[in-house]
Amino acid sequence: MKKRLTLKELTSGILAGNRVTLSKAITLVESVLPEDEEMAAALLEAILPHTGKALRIGITGVPGVGKSTFIEAFGNYLTSNDKKLAVLTIDPSSQLTHGSILGDKTRMESLSKNPNAYIRPSASGSTLGGVAHKTREAALLCEAAGFDIIIIETVGTGQSETAVKNMVDFFLLLMLAGAGDELQGIKKGIMEMADVLVITKADGENKKKAAMAVADYTHALHLFQPPASGWTAKVMTCSALENEGIAEVWNAIVQFETHTKLNGFFLQNRKEQNKTWLYECFNHLLQQEIKSSQALGELINALEKKVESGSMSAYQAAKDMLKNFKKI
Ligand SMILES: Nc1nc2c(ncn2[C@@H]2O[C@H](COP(=O)(O)OP(=O)(O)OP(=O)(O)O)[C@@H](O)[C@H]2O)c(=O)[nH]1
Ligand SMILES: [Mg+2]
């Protein structure tokens, strides 16, 4: 049997930037075993003072938009500019397909061999909230291990974007030219979250269409409410295959960082996100407490049935649940 690392070994390994230890630590925080959760909590507490210095970037877009190819080009660009990069992916569909993670590994082939980059697909948790919760913690571990850019990638399905938006400083939306919003499955809400919108695959025959899409999306973005960051979202084009527009995207991110650090939004946003994290954790603990109480479980089942059949209102049942919860 493999030897389990102690808390001290995990902490010092992470702080020394040891990738094997980092991977083990992420596996630990992703674990749902109660004894692992204790250790994970202690580990996070220990590394927390060493976090916060990285820039956290969220990247999303529908399947096939070119996320992996973009991250590969962008990641290699960053590392050639002396950055250390960690890429974490949240893929809500990976549970069903099991294929996309394997696919990604091959698509990000050069980045995965890059000594200054670390790629980690997220464990497919049973709930999206669960996955997101662990991704935030995995990101902190990467920060403590010395990575100065953290990319959190997710597929454009809606729910996971909100989760990612809540844990990053900057949100990048990749889109295809001329595919039509319906086709891309992108909801207005996701476009509203984006700090920069990048039209991908702007090469060959696609170039013209991409330029037109820039005008269309710039116009569409003007119709939205100005965001709290005080930053006007930019629309740009790029070709990851031809390595074009990559530096420009990075420059826009740097501009965003400067802008929001100057106007105070950057720090305020992180404070809000930490608060969100607190309630996510509290919720998680509450759920665990409820699940571990057999008596409460039985009562909840009975109340669920009454609400399902319409013989009791949801509000009354919830009040009953709370009353009984207070007794445990
Ligand atoms: N012409 C062109 N094709 C590209 C470019 N970027 C990606 N592609 C192609 O688009 C296809 C999908 O790219 P991926 O990077 O795998 O897209 P993805 O968004 O990661 O897809 P999923 O992981 O399935 O969600 C691949 O066949 C790529 O070769 C680009 O800049 N130009
Ligand atoms: Mg991909």
Mean pLDDT for 25-52 is 92
Classify 222 in phi/psi space as left (phi over 0), alpha (psi -120 to 50) or beta.
alpha
Half-sphere exposure of 102 (CA within 13 A, CB side): 4
Q: Which atom of ligand 1 is nearest to the CA of 61?
A: 19
Q: Which atom of ligand 1 is nearest to the CA of 240?
A: 31
| Ligand approaching nearest to the C-alpha of 243 | 1
Q: Which atom of ligand 1 is nearest to the CA of 72?
A: 15
| Residue nearest atom 5 in ligand 1 by C-alpha distance | 201
| Residue nearest atom 10 in ligand 1 by C-alpha distance | 66
| 102 pLDDT higher than 70 | no
Q: What is the pLDDT of residues 66-84, one digit of tens each?
A: 999 999 999 999 999 999 9
Q: Report how far ligand 1's centroid is from the alpha carbon of 137 (Å).
A: 28
Coil, strand or helix at 44 = helix
- Listed range (2-6, 36-40, 279-283) with the worst mean pLDDT: 2-6
Do 1-50 and 52-263 show the same overall fold? no
pLDDT of residue 95: 46
Domain boundaries, the chain: 1-50, 52-263, 274-327
Angle (nearest 5°) at CA 160 between 194 and 213: 35
DSSP state of 240: T
CATH architecture of 52-263: 3-Layer(aba) Sandwich (3.40)
Supply the angle between the helices 128-144 and 19-30 in degrees, to the nearest 10: 150
Query: How far apart, in whole angstroms, are the C-alpha atoms of residue 124 and residue 102?
Result: 13
| Ligand approaching nearest to the C-alpha of 69 | 1
- Which protein residues touch ligand 1 with a CB less than 6 Å away? 61, 63-69, 100, 104, 107, 155, 200-201, 203, 239-241
Greater pLDDT, 147 or 61:
147
- Listed range (5-19, 21-35, 104-118, 251-265) with the worst mean pLDDT: 104-118
| 97 pLDDT higher than 50 | no
Q: What is the pLDDT of residues 198-253, one digit of tens each?
A: 999 999 999 999 999 999 889 888 888 888 999 999 999 999 999 999 999 999 99
- Listed range (145-159, 172-186, 260-274) with the worst mean pLDDT: 172-186
Closest CA to 2 of 24, 33, 34: 24
- One of 3.10.105.10, 3.40.50.2300, 1.20.5.170, 3.90.1170.50 is the CATH number of 1-50, namely 1.20.5.170
Closest CA to 88 of 61, 45, 121, 117: 121
Q: Report how far ligand 2's centroid is from the alpha carbon of 127 (Å).
A: 21
pLDDT of residue 96: 41
**How would you list the strands of the sheet with 85-90, edge to edge?**
117-121, 85-90, 149-155, 55-61, 170-175, 196-199, 234-237
Q: Report how far ligand 2's centroid is from the alpha carbon of 206 (Å).
A: 20
pLDDT of residue 151: 96
This prediction has a pTM of: 0.90
